[in-house]
């Protein structure tokens, strides 16, 4: 009946004979839409048909007697009413939360009062009106509940009158309810005391689930009925979190012996942020067991921070350096066993050292070579300068007493000596530059290499095309005068260079014509007539 009426009204509206329309959804169809249609929105007729068929099948799945199914529908509907949101509580869903949040009522007491015909009329009328108002508020919950309560009171009163007139409710109950004004709960909702430190592991998993489950946001994720197993060790995660949280007191810092020189003797330990991750390796890979920090904020230091840590950079440098030594060992050992000569550039000191080690000990294992690498000695002198991507730089050690020393890699790592690792980084960079016989660096340093002229020709062609492209873009469509001004406005010129440009282009033919150009483009200098004449 409702569907037929909705279709008829829509047809009249389409024909311009009426401006009325109603929704065709019953409560059963609405629940199917809210629970199973993406976003809770009906996008087309196919969505609506799917909702209706699903609602029918669900209602009759236990047989032709649908009384219990209808009771379950009514209960599910009341328990899932979307009733806006309130600060300090969040989303309000269902009658129980609605009564508590918006009216400050006791849901259990409300049920008992409404089921008791002998309860005081005024109290029954108050609860009845509150329940009715929440059911009506789902039309526009944010407007009726969070913003304009007077409109909701008026809407509820109009329905009370209709229900009394149709004898759905007793007249005395209706009159008592009409005499009652809906009062919003003025008591602030106490904020939930959330310790974000204990949520870092869970939130890391939630963030990882978003792409896996094709969810756009946590709002969608929270509405999925999903059980997830992770590699995190919940007990160990909690223990580490508690330990890190305890580092915020001076007593705990002193107990751990962290108050020595250049440690925490003067600093406020509560302002120090610690983070910790633990992986366990097995045959299947590395498994995250702990992801913790002591920052009581939603931000995850491990997953979201970009940190520039000098000592950690040393560890990364060491790993890269040892990895290249291992790679060179495998390749050079294979070449030596095959009787091939090693083509090692003099500047590739890393490969040269590995080759020399194999020459001295042909049976050396990878482990012994790596152990020997950790015993290699490097100067810690800061006297040398090193060219980096940012130019020529000088570096310093933390302890000046190291400046005259030569240290092994092991000792330099233990004592965090900067210049040893700078030289290791230089060795890594040179290895990448010179390790291949056809590397660009080798080609360019050899004037007799046939590939050198080919590369230079390609470089010149590309640079020339880029230069001409920029030149054309800058000057296209400009007049001769406009191009000249664009040229001079973009550079600082001396009086002599300006004069050469203007005379080369025959832009000035007398010293008098030169004077205004000098005044415009060399404004910080004053010229006499004789000086201008001499320039001309």
Question: Does 282 share its domain with 380?
Answer: no
Q: Is residue 461 part of a domain?
A: no
φ and ψ of 408, to 5 deg: -75, 160
Looking at residue 188, the DSSP 8-state letter turns out to be: P
In terms of phi and psi (left: phi > 0; alpha: psi -120 to 50; beta: otherwise), the region of 71 is alpha
Question: Does 246 share its domain with 322?
Answer: no
Give the integer Cα–Cα distance in Å for 36 and 54: 10
Q: Is residue 114 part of a domain?
A: no
Domain C-terminal end among 307, 325, 342: 307
Q: What pLDDT does residue 37 have?
A: 79
Question: Does 418 share its domain with 521?
Answer: no
Question: Does 440 share its domain with 377?
Answer: yes
Question: Does 206 share its domain with 321?
Answer: no
Q: Is residue 59 part of a domain?
A: yes
Q: What pLDDT does residue 387 have?
A: 81
Between the CA of residue 121 and those of 16, 116, 173, what are the distances in Å?
49, 10, 7
Q: How big is the CA angle at 309 (ends 234 and 413), to the nearest 5 degrees? A: 100
Question: Does 332 share its domain with 375?
Answer: yes
pTM (predicted TM-score): 0.48
Question: Does 258 share its domain with 329?
Answer: no
How does pLDDT run across 60-84, given as a tens digit for each residue? 988 999 899 999 988 988 888 889 9
Q: Is residue 158 part of a domain?
A: no
Q: Is residue 17 part of a domain?
A: no
How does pLDDT run across 95-114, given as a tens digit for each residue? 999 999 999 889 999 999 99
Question: Does 299 share its domain with 320?
Answer: no
Domain C-terminal end among 307, 333, 360: 307
Question: Does 300 share its domain with 320?
Answer: no
Q: What pLDDT does residue 19 have?
A: 66
Range of the domain at 487: 477-535
Q: What is the DSSP string of 364-382?
A: --HHHHHHHHHT-EEE--S
In terms of phi and psi (left: phi > 0; alpha: psi -120 to 50; beta: otherwise), the region of 94 is left
Which residue ranges in the chain fall short of pLDDT 70? Answer: 1-3, 6-7, 9, 15-24, 188-192, 307-311
Are residues 354 and 325 in contact, defined by beta-carbon separation less than 8 angstroms? yes
Q: What is the DSSP string of 255-302?
A: HTT--STTTTSSS-GGG---EEEEEEEETTEEEEEEEEE---SS--HH
φ and ψ of 377, to 5 deg: -105, 140
3-state SS, residue 217 = coil
Question: Does 271 share its domain with 388?
Answer: no
Q: What is the helix (H) or strand (E) element at residue 387, kind and residue range?
A: strand 386-388
Question: Does 440 share its domain with 496?
Answer: no
Q: Is residue 97 part of a domain?
A: no
Question: Does 316 share its domain with 441?
Answer: yes
Q: Is residue 271 part of a domain?
A: yes
Domain C-terminal end among 258, 273, 307: 307
Q: Is residue 450 part of a domain?
A: no
Return the sign of the alpha-carbon dihedral for residues 38, 44, 50, 53: positive
Q: How many domains does the chain have?
A: 4
């Amino acid at each position: 009946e409702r569907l037929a009426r909705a279709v008829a009204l829509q047809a009249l509206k389409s024909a311009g004979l009426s401006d009325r329309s109603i929704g065709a959804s019953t409560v059963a169809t609405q629940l199917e839409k809210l629970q199973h249609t993406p976003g809770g929105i009906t996008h087309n007729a196919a969505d609506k048909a799917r909702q209706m068929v699903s609602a029918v099948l669900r209602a009759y799945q236990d047989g032709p007697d649908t009384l219990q199914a209808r009771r379950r529908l009514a209960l599910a509907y009341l328990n899932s009413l979307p009733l806006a949101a309130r600060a300090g509580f969040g989303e309000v869903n269902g009658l129980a939360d609605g009564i508590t949040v918006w009216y400050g009522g006791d849901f259990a007491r409300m049920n008992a009062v409404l089921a008791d015909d002998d309860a005081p009329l005024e109290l029954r009328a108050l609860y009845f009106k509150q329940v009715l108002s929440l059911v009506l508020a789902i039309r526009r919950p944010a407007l009726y509940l969070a913003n304009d309560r007077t409109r909701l009171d008026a809407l509820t009163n109009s329905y009370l009158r209709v229900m009394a007139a149709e004898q759905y409710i007793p007249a005395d109950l209706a009159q008592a309810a009409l005499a009652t004004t809906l009062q919003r709960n003025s008591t602030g909702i106490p904020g939930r005391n959330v310790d974000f430190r204990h949520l870092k592991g869970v939130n890391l998993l939630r963030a990882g689930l978003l792409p896996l489950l094709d969810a756009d946001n946590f709002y969608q994720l929270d509405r999925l009925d999903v059980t997830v197993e992770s590699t995190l060790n919940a007990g160990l995660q909690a223990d580490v979190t508690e330990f890190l949280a305890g580092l915020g007191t001076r007593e705990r810092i002193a107990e751990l012996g962290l108050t020595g020189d250049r440690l925490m003797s003067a600093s406020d330990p509560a302002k120090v942020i610690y983070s910790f991750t633990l992986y366990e390796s097995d045959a299947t890979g590395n498994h995250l067991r702990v992801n913790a920090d002591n920052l009581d904020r939603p931000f995850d230091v491990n997953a979201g921070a970009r940190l520039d840590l000098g000592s950690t950079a040393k560890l990364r440098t060491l790993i890269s350096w040892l990895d290249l030594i291992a790679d060179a060992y495998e390749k050079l050992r294979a070449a030596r066993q095959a009787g091939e000569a090693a083509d090692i550039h003099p500047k590739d000191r890393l490969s040269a050292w590995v080759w020399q080690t194999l020459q001295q000990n042909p049976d050396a294992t990878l482990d012994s070579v790596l152990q020997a690498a950790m015993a290699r000695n490097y100067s810690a002198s800061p006297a040398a300068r090193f060219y980096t991507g940012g130019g020529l730089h000088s570096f310093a050690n933390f302890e000046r007493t190291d400046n005259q020393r030569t240290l092994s890699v092991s000792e330099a790592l233990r004592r965090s000596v900067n210049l040893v690792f700078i030289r290791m980084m230089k060795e890594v960079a040179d290895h990448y530059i010179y390790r291949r016989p056809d590397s660009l660096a080798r080609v360019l340093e050899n004037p007799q290499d046939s590939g050198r002229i080919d590369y230079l020709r390609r470089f010149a062609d590309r640079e020339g095309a880029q230069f001409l492209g920029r030149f054309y873009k800058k000057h296209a469509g400009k007049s001769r005068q406009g191009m000249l001004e664009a040229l001079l406005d973009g550079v600082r010129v001396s009086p002599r260079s300006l004069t050469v440009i203007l005379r080369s282009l025959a832009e000035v033919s007398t010293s008098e014509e030169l004077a205004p150009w000098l005044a415009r483009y060399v404004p910080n200098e004053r010229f006499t007539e004789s000086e201008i004449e001499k320039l001309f």
